[in-house]
Amino acid sequence: MTNVHPTAIVDKRADLGEGVTVGPFVVIEADTRIGANCIIEAHAVIHSNVTMGDSNVIGHGAIIGGDPQDRKYSGEPTYLEIGNHNVFREFVTIHRATGEGKSTIVGDDCFLMAFCHLGHNVRLFSNITMANGVGVSGHVTIEDGANLGGMVGVHQFVRIGKYSMVGGMSKVVRDVPPFMLTEGQPLRVYDINAVGLRRLGVDSRRRMALHKACKLLFRSEMSLTRGIEAVRREVEITEEVEYLINFLENIGGGRYGRQDQK
CATH number of 3-193: 2.160.10.10
Rounded Cα distance between 33 and 15, Å, is: 5
Helices (H) and strands (E) in the chain — how many of each? 4, 28
10-residue averages of pLDDT along the chain (262 residues): 97 98 98 98 98 98 98 98 98 98 98 98 98 98 98 97 98 97 96 96 98 96 94 98 96 46 31
Q: Residues spanned by CATH 1.20.1180.10 within the chain?
A: 198-260
Q: Is the pTM of this model over 0.85?
A: yes
Say what the pLDDT of residue 1 is: 87
Domain over 198-260 is classified CATH 1.20.1180.10 = yes
Say what the pLDDT of residue 184 is: 96
Q: How many residues does the chain have?
A: 262
Say what the pLDDT of residue 26 is: 98
DSSP code of 258? Answer: G
Q: Residues spanned by CATH 2.160.10.10 within the chain?
A: 3-193
